[in-house]
C-alpha cells in the first residue's frame, strides 16, 4: 500500500461524457502527478501540481484538466470523452518538487469509454 | 527520443540474483537514474535511484558505471512476486517533472 488513494477504481461511461477522477496523496506529500496508461501509448505523464499550483505539463489533451485543492487532494477532469480515452489513470505523489525524489503511485482508475 | 535502452524481456530462476541492465549513454551530469517496476496493471512502484555512487536499499542494489553511461539493477534473491515490468528512467536537472516511462524490461521469474 503506497498511501495514495484513487477513486473510483472502475468507471464506464459513454462517448461525449465528462468524468472526474479523484486522488488523495500520501500524508505530507505536496506534489501530485497524473499519468495515463493505454495499450498503445504506454505510461504517459499528464500533469503535475505542487501545493495547489500547476508545476509541469506533459501530454495532456485540452479536453482534460486537473486541479489540486487546499487539502492537497487532486481531481482530473476528462470531458468530451472518446473511445481512445479508455485507459488506466494513475495518480502519484511525492514530498517535494525538485530532485531527487521518488513518486508513490496509487492503484489507478480504469476508465472504459463505450 | 529515448534516454534509456533496456532489453524487452529477461528470465531469471527463483532464488537467483536478477541483473537488469540499462544503457543511458546521453545522461547529463545532474541527472539521476531511477528504477520503478509495475506488477500487472498495478500502480508503478519506486525501487531505487542513484546519481553517481552505487546504492542499496531493502529491495535492490543499483550499480552505476564510472562513466555513468549504464547501470544495473540487482534483485539479490528473486521471488515469483518480482515478476514485473522494470523501468529505468533518467531525469533530473534540478526541476520537477513527470517520469518518462519507456517500454521497460519484462522480468519473468521462473520457479
Q: Per-residue pLDDT tens, chain B, 111 aa: give them.
A: 458 999 999 999 999 999 999 999 999 888 899 999 999 889 999 999 999 989 999 999 999 999 999 999 999 999 999 999 999 999 875 555 788 889 999 999 999
**Whole-number pLDDT of residue B36:** 96
- Asked if residues B56 and B81 have their Cβ atoms less than 8 Å apart, the reply is no
Instruction: For A17-74, write each residue's pLDDT tens digit.
Output: 999 999 999 999 999 999 999 988 889 999 999 999 999 999 899 999 999 999 999 9
Q: B residues 3-32 near A, CB within 8 Å?
A: 30, 32
Task: Give B1's contacts (C-beta < 8 A, 6+ positions apart).
Answer: none
C-alpha cell at A93: 505523489
The answer for residues whose C-beta is within 8 angstroms of residue A21's C-beta and 6 or more apart is: A6, A7, A8, A11, A75, A76, A77, A78, A89, A91, A109, A111
pLDDT tens digit sequence for A68-104: 999 999 999 999 999 999 999 999 999 876 666 789 9
CB contact under 8 A, A102 and B49: yes
Residue of A2, A1, A5 lying closest to A109 (CA atoms): A5
* Torsional class of B37: left (φ above 0), alpha (ψ -120 to 50), beta (otherwise): beta
Least CB–CB distance from A48: residue in B93, B98, B102: B98
Choose among A45, A55, A107: nearest Cβ to B43: A107
Amino acid at each position: 500500500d503506497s498511501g495514495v488513494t484513487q477513486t473510483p477504481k472502475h468507471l464506464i461511461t459513454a462517448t461525449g461524457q465528462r468524468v472526474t477522477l479523484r486522488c488523495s496523496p500520501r500524508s505530507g506529500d505536496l506534489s501530485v502527478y497524473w499519468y495515463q496508461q493505454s495499450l498503445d501509448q504506454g505510461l504517459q505523464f499528464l500533469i503535475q501540481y505542487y501545493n495547489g499550483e500547476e508545476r509541469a505539463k506533459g501530454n495532456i489533451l485540452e479536453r482534460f484538466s486537473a486541479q489540486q485543492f487546499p487539502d492537497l487532494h487532486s481531481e482530473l477532469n476528462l470531458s468530451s470523452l472518446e473511445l481512445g480515452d479508455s485507459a488506466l489513470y494513475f495518480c502519484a505523489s511525492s514530498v517535494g518538487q525538485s530532485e531527487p525524489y521518488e513518486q508513490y503511485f496509487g492503484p489507478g482508475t480504469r476508465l472504459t469509454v463505450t | 527520443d529515448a534516454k534509456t535502452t533496456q532489453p524487452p524481456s529477461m528470465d531469471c530462476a527463483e532464488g537467483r540474483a536478477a541483473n537488469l541492465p540499462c544503457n543511458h549513454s546521453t545522461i547529463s551530469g545532474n541527472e539521476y537514474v531511477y528504477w520503478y517496476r509495475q506488477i500487472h496493471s498495478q500502480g508503478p512502484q519506486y525501487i531505487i535511484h542513484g546519481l553517481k555512487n552505487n546504492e542499496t536499499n531493502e529491495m535492490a542494489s543499483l550499480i552505476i558505471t564510472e562513466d555513468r553511461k549504464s547501470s544495473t539493477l540487482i534483485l539479490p534473491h528473486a521471488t515469483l512476486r518480482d515478476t514485473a515490468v522494470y523501468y529505468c528512467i533518467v531525469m533530473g536537472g534540478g526541476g520537477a517533472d513527470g517520469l518518462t516511462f519507456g517500454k521497460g524490461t519484462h522480468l519473468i521469474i521462473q520457479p
